[in-house]
Structure 1
């Protein structure tokens, strides 16, 4: 059975920087073939045109599909599922699908749609990324231009027009696997840390909160989260139900790149380093220790392999936040029996402390 194609859902209010983040992702895709589904409003299909004109070889004209309707969950059967089936049914299906939602449509019903028969066996939600305007949220607003967000809402009759933006924002945070605090360059020293801590306290456990400027994040951090979000919907509960009358009858239908210091692309907010250790006594105890170190130091990704005493095979270690996966992949053969881990996080990682904790 072929592996499922991963899909990443990007949500966030108008002006938070979703398109900029996606464009940067495409320009730095390292050969990954990414298809885009853009869920924008009516005649405002600006995003599609910007991205179609991007001239990036990994994303061709027919890799961008625009859904005209602002609220995907209202059109799952008519528009979203056929679009997914079309992408999945191609002779050369994409390596990854990225879905940019309208910031006013909730991510939860969209994630639920991935359990739809016909696509559930072929695609999985790699992760939900919520982009927030760091400066606006720090100032107590949810968007730089609240009037524009409200005008956008009024244009789409499928959207709920009553719910305060603060509640829609809480739903976006409740569904997120990663929260990107964008426009970090506009925040004063300390403001970004305060905001990250506040958002982390509102999100589910293990959700990563990162800062970015102009949406510049390494692709290896955005993609490959491997969450399978459609399988844990009850943890992402909508704080509020936004579809009034038709809510109830609605639900029944429904290879490894290491990151270097990529300063050239504005990735100096991230760093990576390597920890080399000798043989490990106990694989399970080691996996638990790795998870503890990741939590203590807010590490985003950790990957590599370990030599376990008495085992000829090497143990592959891959962690996204505190979720650590390990499996024996191949014999060491003549290669030296060492443990080598790449640690990736936001700039300012306490390398000596992390190194010491992994050796302890």
Structure 2
């Protein structure tokens, strides 16, 4: 690669738990001949996703090419975090040939695209494409897409009504900014669910978008890498709810980090997390847990009441510590209640 050639960057966006990390892991294992680098933006301070990806490092993407931003939304920390991290990647002895950016599930992609116009990097990298992931089962159920007719009726009746929720705005902005939409967990949605999800995406998208069903992140890299979209030069065709605003806030969401003792029964923990989703409207739970008598750490990933857990790696020299990151809408965060459900053997 010539030093004068812009390095392509793929922005991978999508709602909490839509499968972004699973997709990035698949791309790391199937790079299509590319030398990759990955930038992971976590919401909160515990780098679960970045740690998962570092376990996939190899000669095509060495561990030093996997970097994390855990100090807030990537588009709100451009000068302090994003630009220096990109410059560090570009200064590697062997430069990456393609960079993947996994955004936080709460990030709006358009402000990030604007960052590519910063003088320090605009001549060196370009947005090859924006890939939006959407949980097909959830979208088909209408959980992240409003009823457009009902919203319009409410607007006509009362201009002051709050017709958008924070989650729907995030979802719509991610779809509006995308070059391709991946409908993840296609196996759970089924054919009818996929058809319903496609209809929702088509209704929300500002232009026709390729929409591809995916299970466990398995997709041919040729379909999503090498798009040459130059998305940073195409902002006008990627509308956002926040157009005209200088910045945006993430005060609608809170992160709570809970340290736990070792557990004996992963199924009991999963039941507690499901209870949190029902009673506290928790959006996302992720982290690692030490299980008594087990030499491997238990990776826990939950989206609403859907909880997945698996032993992913030996503890090795790492301290056997259990920690969960819990993400919820601001108005629904009750730290004492979260702690009670996760820690209290009587209440749980």
TM value normalised by structure 1: 0.60
CA distance in 2, matches of 1:126, 1:207: 16
* Residues paired across the two proteins, number: 229
CA distance in 2, matches of 1:245, 1:131: 24
Residues 209-218 or 199-208, more deviating: 199-208
Aligned partner (choices 154, 157, 171) of residue 169 of structure 1: 171
Residues 201-210 or 20-29, more deviating: 201-210
CA distance in 2, matches of 1:28, 1:245: 36
- Is 1:7 the counterpart of 2:9 in the alignment? yes
In the alignment, what sits opposite 2:241?
239
Cα distance, 1:242–1:163 mapped onto 2, change above 3 Å: farther
In the alignment, what sits opposite 1:50?
52
CA distance in 1, matches of 2:75, 2:116: 11
CA distance in 1, matches of 2:129, 2:247: 30
In the alignment, what sits opposite 1:141?
143
Contact 1:70 1:105 in 2 (8 A): no
* TM-superposed deviation, 1:163: 4.9
In the alignment, what sits opposite 2:314?
none
In the alignment, what sits opposite 1:24?
26
RMSD: 2.2
* TM-superposed deviation, 1:246: 7.4
Residue-by-residue CA offset, 1:186-230 (whole Å, 9 max, x unaligned): 123232123223313422334211110111111111101110000
CA distance in 2, matches of 1:163, 1:243: 18
Contact 2:6 2:125 in 1 (8 A): yes
TM value normalised by structure 2: 0.62
* TM-superposed deviation, 1:87: 1.3
5 Å matches for 1:272-351?
none
Residues 53-62 or 79-88, more deviating: 53-62
In the alignment, what sits opposite 1:110?
112
**Helix, strand or coil: the match of 1:8?**
strand
**Helix, strand or coil: the match of 2:130?**
strand
The gaps in structure 1 that reach 5 residues or longer are 144-161, 248-360
Cα distance, 1:49–1:140 mapped onto 2, change above 3 Å: same
In the alignment, what sits opposite 1:147?
none
- Is 1:38 the counterpart of 2:45 in the alignment? no
5 Å matches for 1:127-206?
127-142=129-144, 163-206=165-208
Cα distance, 1:195–1:80 mapped onto 2, change above 3 Å: same
